[in-house]
A = this chain, B = another copy of it.
Amino acid sequence: MPSTVPVVDFWFEFASTYSYPAAMRIAPLAQAAGVAVRFRPFLLGPIFKAQGWDTSPFNLYPAKGRYMWRDLARICAALDLPLQRPEPFPQMSVAAARLTLVGLDDGWAEDFCREVYHAEFGEGRRIDDAAVLAELLNGLGIDAAAAQEKAQSAEIKARLRAESAEAERLGLFGAPSFVTADGEVFWGNDRLEDAFTWAKAPQEVAAV
């Protein structure tokens, strides 16, 4: 690997269905592409609220929701990922997002994210349940009580708010989103490969 590699920020929401396949496939793809990925959890709720939505657009617009679950089923089948709908949908994701920030400091964030997504969309479990999150942490050999206490600190809460504000500042409106060092935004699991390609060789594309 060269001494410097391009960096791509992976902005994700634990409540977001399409973030699930993205989170599961991003690490090996990044390694193969020679790209470094930063995991950046954020909350879509405030962004949705600002545009008048009080729940997922997949609930607000039923035809779109029905399509999304079918499309996700096809995607997961192709990737050999299990898929079950969590109830309720969307899940409250703030606890898992705060824990991920703790994990970013302590070196276990990426494994934890994959465990959360697997529990939520692979097994249909509730990720707003502290006991479920503790089980996932313990399964990774992490001191769950200590991590969950840190996740409740004012510093972590403020950091998650700041990350969500940064997501909005970047123009993000959905998850997953991938942002390159030069500020190019790619939205959706479909655009992961495009983001890596751009990060390695930015294109000249005229504004329209």
Residues of A at the B interface (CB closer than 8 Å) are 47, 51, 61, 63-64, 66-67, 69-74, 77, 83-85, 171-174, 185-187, 190-191, 194, 203, 205-208
A191 nearest in chain B by CB position: B71
| CB neighbours of A203 from chain B (8 A) | 74, 77
A77 in contact with B172 given A61-B51, A190-B190 (CB within 8 Å): no
A208 touches B173 (CB 8 A): no
| A-B residue pairs, 9 tightest by C-beta | A63-B173, A73-B208, A77-B205, A64-B173, A190-B190, A73-B205, A63-B171, A83-B208, A74-B205
**Bound-state Cα–Cα, A206 to B207, Å:** 42
| CB neighbours of A70 from chain B (8 A) | 185, 205, 207-208
A171 touches B66 (CB 8 A): yes
From B61, B173, B191, A173 is in contact (CB under 8 Å) with: B61
Closest CB in chain B relative to A96 CB, distance in Å: 21
| CB neighbours of A77 from chain B (8 A) | 203, 205-206
A67 touches B208 (CB 8 A): no
Beyond A47-B63, A85-B208, 10 extra complex contacts between A and B, CB < 8 Å: A51-B61, A63-B171, A67-B173, A71-B186, A71-B187, A72-B208, A73-B206, A73-B208, A77-B203, A77-B205
Closest CB in chain B relative to A51 CB, distance in Å: 6
| CB neighbours of A186 from chain B (8 A) | 71
**Bound-state Cα–Cα, A61 to B52, Å:** 10
A185 touches B73 (CB 8 A): no
From B67, B174, B185, B208, A187 is in contact (CB under 8 Å) with: B67
| CB neighbours of A64 from chain B (8 A) | 173-174
| CB neighbours of A69 from chain B (8 A) | 208
Closest CB in chain B relative to A208 CB, distance in Å: 5
| CB neighbours of A207 from chain B (8 A) | 70, 73
| CB neighbours of A66 from chain B (8 A) | 171
Closest CB in chain B relative to A162 CB, distance in Å: 19
